[in-house]
Amino acid sequence: MMVLHAENVPTVLVLGGTGEGHVLVKNLLAKFGNQLRVITSLAEKRTALPEATYGAWRAGPFCGVEHLIAYLRDERIAAVLSATHPFSATITHYTSIACKECNISHLKIVRPPWVCTKEDRWVEVHDMVEAARKLPSIGKRAFLTIGIRALPIFLSLSNMWFLIRLPRAIPLPFSDHVPPHRLVLGRGQDGNDLLLMRIHAIDVLVTKASGGAATAGKIAAARALTLPVLMVRRPPSTENDTTVSSVMAAVAWVETNILQFSEKRSSS
């Protein structure tokens, strides 16, 4: 592979914030080095990130499609690689529109979903509102692994007891005791979900169909305890963007569709 001149090095924007996003950026930097400029975008504001891990980066949400379009043009982005959470429907939709407007490629890494087996007891629902409505008829002690934003939907269920898991300490939208609850911190990657559910006598799991191996422990734990799972389905995709199911497939796509294309264009 020929080395591109600095002014011709293509730039890709990685919409990160997930494990896949972190691994993707790491692999892009390791494989392509100074042949590719990588910018990582994180929705949450940060004060600093390790340059060796993230390359160039920005933090904070894009304020609508027009803001994203302007950013793509200002940074001369050649392609956007979406490695966002499967439930980040808004930014995915905005990105699809912005990339079409700017006539650049948009690749999405779509995390493989979990598969419901004959041993599972899933109750699939369309959204969190439906999950909250059905929950009291399914169990009384619920393990909520749904993130922070959806918690207010469950605020009125004062007769329930909740075990709430969040990735880090964040003020809850609950009072200290209403509804009754306990907070645990982490991402469910330490294999203690079965123990947590047993200790707290959990009788129903509420989660989103996020998929992936990193947080599948809760699904396996519910299966082992024969507990029902209120599973919120993924939002439907309305875009026709190119998708891959793995980080390595995304890296290969970048090499073929961005780097090799840029080399042919610069040598013509």
* pLDDT for the residue numbered 66: 95
Residue 156: other Cβ atoms inside 10 A: 11
* pLDDT for the residue numbered 240: 83
Place of tokens 């975008």: 41
* pLDDT for the residue numbered 4: 40
Closest CA to 143 of 156, 154, 130: 154
Place of tokens 């959470």: 85
* pLDDT for the residue numbered 58: 86
pTM score: 0.85
**What are the residue ranges spanned by the domains of the chain?**
6-112+236-267, 121-232
Task: Answer whether 6-112+236-267 and 121-232 agree in fold.
Answer: yes
Using alpha carbons only, what angle is made at residue 78 by residues 73 and 84, rounded to the nearest 5 degrees?
Answer: 95
Tell me the CATH architecture of domain 121-232: 3-Layer(aba) Sandwich (3.40)
* pLDDT for the residue numbered 7: 60
6-112+236-267 fold: Rossmann fold (3.40.50)
pLDDT average per 10 residues of sequence, the chain (268 residues): 55 92 94 93 67 72 92 96 92 94 96 95 97 97 94 93 89 82 82 92 97 91 97 87 94 92 56
* pLDDT for the residue numbered 54: 62
